[in-house]
C-alpha cells in the first residue's frame, strides 16, 4: 500500500539520532519533505547531508531548537512553512531521562527538565503547528510515548510517568483537534538507542531470550510504525497508542 507520504512535510523533533533519525529516514524514503530538529545544529547537519545524498527527491531542512523553548519552537516551524509551504505531519519524538532512581530522591531541577522535554513540548509544538495551518489544511500528530508509561519499573518511574501523561495527552488532543488533525502515539519497548542504553547495554543476551520475537528493538522497527500512523493507511485511526515491543507485554512467566 502506498503510504501517501510523498510530497508531504514532516517535522521531527529529536531527529539527530535514534528513533527520530530513523523516522526521518523512513519518511524521506517515502518521498516526504523532512524537517530535522534537535538541540545541536552540527549533528542535524550530518543527518541532513546523509538524507540528501540517499534520497535526492526529498526536501530536507535542518533547524536546531530546544523543544521546551517557545521562541526556538516558533523559529523552527516558521522556517518549515517558509521552506515547504506548510506542516502536514508533526512527530513529537524528543525525550530525556536525566534521573535514575527512586521517586523519593528525585530533585526539582531534573523533574522540571523531564516534564519540559517529555510532556510540555508535546503541547507546545502541537499548538504551534495547529496555529500555523494544521487547523485548516489538516494533518497528523504522532507522539512518542513508551511501554514504560503502562508499567512500573525501578529507576525510571518519573520518566515513565511523563510517558503515561503523553498517552493521555494523545487522547485529549485527538478529541480536541478532530476532524482536521489525527493524533496517535507509539509506545516502544526496549529499543537500541542512546537514551535507553542503560536498559539494554549490559543485559542484551538475557533480554533477547525473554522477547517472544527473539530480540530487542531497533529504531527502524519504530520508524515502520510511524510510517503507518502518519500515512493514509491509518486514516480512520486517532487517539490510539500503538505498542511496538517485540511481544514483551505478552511473554509468559517461566518458572
Listed in sequence order, the residues at least 6 apart from 64 whose beta carbon sits closer than 8 Å to its beta carbon are: 37, 38, 39, 40, 41, 44, 72, 76
Domain residue ranges of the chain, discontinuous segments joined by +: 9-242
Q: What is the pLDDT of residue 196?
A: 67
Residue 176: count other Cβ atoms within 10 Å of its Cβ: 11
The DSSP string of 13-38 is ESTTSHHHHHHHHHHHHTT-EEEEE-
Q: Residue for cell digits 503547528?
A: 129
Q: What is the pLDDT of residue 197?
A: 65
SS3 helix, strand, coil % of the chain, rounded to 5? 50, 15, 35
Instruction: Give me the architecture of the 9-242 domain, per CATH.
Output: 3-Layer(aba) Sandwich (3.40)
pLDDT tens for each residue of the chain, 255 residues long? 789 999 999 999 999 999 999 999 999 999 999 999 999 999 999 999 999 999 998 999 999 999 999 999 999 999 999 999 999 999 999 999 999 999 999 999 999 999 999 999 999 999 999 999 999 999 999 999 999 999 988 899 999 999 999 999 999 999 999 999 999 999 999 888 777 666 656 677 777 777 888 888 899 999 999 999 999 999 999 999 999 999 988 875 543
> Is 159 annotated as catalytic?
yes
The three-state secondary structure class of 170 is helix
Q: What is the pLDDT of residue 200?
A: 57
Angle of helix 108-115 relative to helix 157-177, nearest 10 degrees?
30
Q: What is the pLDDT of residue 216?
A: 81
Q: Nearest-CA neighbor of 150 among 164, 138, 133?
A: 164
Residue 254: count other Cβ atoms within 10 Å of its Cβ: 6
Q: What is the pLDDT of residue 255?
A: 38
Set 55, 99, 158, 159: catalytic member: 159
Amino acid at each position: 500500500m502506498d503510504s501517501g507520504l510523498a510530497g508531504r512535510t514532516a517535522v521531527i523533533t529529536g531527529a539527530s539520532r535514534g528513533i527520530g533519525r530513523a523516522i526521518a529516514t523512513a519518511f524521506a524514503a517515502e518521498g516526504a519533505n523532512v524537517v530535522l530538529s534537535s538541540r545541536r545544529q552540527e549533528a542535524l547537519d550530518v543527518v541532513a547531508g546523509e538524507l540528501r545524498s540517499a534520497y535526492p527527491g526529498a526536501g530536507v531542512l535542518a533547524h536546531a531548537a530546544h523543544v521546551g523553548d517557545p521562541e526556538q519552537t516558533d523559529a523552527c516551524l516558521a522556517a518549515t512553512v517558509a521552506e515547504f509551504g506548510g506542516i502536514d505531519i508533526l512527530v513529537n519524538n524528543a525525550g530525556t531521562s536525566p534521573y535514575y532512581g527512586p521517586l523519593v530522591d528525585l530533585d526539582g531541577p531534573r523533574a522540571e527538565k523531564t516534564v519540559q522535554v517529555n510532556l510540555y513540548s508535546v503541547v507546545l509544538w502541537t499548538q504551534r503547528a495547529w496555529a500555523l495551518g494544521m487547523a485548516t489544511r489538516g494533518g497528523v500528530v504522532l507522539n512518542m510515548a513508551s511501554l514504560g508509561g503502562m508499567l512500573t519499573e525501578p529507576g525510571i518511574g518519573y520518566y515513565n510517568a511523563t510517558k503515561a501523561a503523553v498517552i493521555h495527552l494523545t487522547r485529549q488532543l485527538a478529541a480536541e483537534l478532530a476532524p482536521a488533525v489525527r493524533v496517535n502515539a507509539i509506545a516502544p519497548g526496549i529499543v537500541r538507542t542512546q537514551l535507553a542504553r542503560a536498559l539494554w547495554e549490559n543485559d542484551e543476551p538475557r533480554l533477547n531470550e525473554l522477547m517472544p520475537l527473539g530480540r530487542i528493538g531497533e529504531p527502524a522497527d519504530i520508524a515502520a510504525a510511524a510510517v503507518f500512523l502518519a500515512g493514509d493507511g491509518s486514516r480512520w485511526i486517532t487517539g490510539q497508542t500503538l505498542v511496538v515491543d517485540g511481544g514483551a507485554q505478552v511473554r509468559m512467566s517461566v518458572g
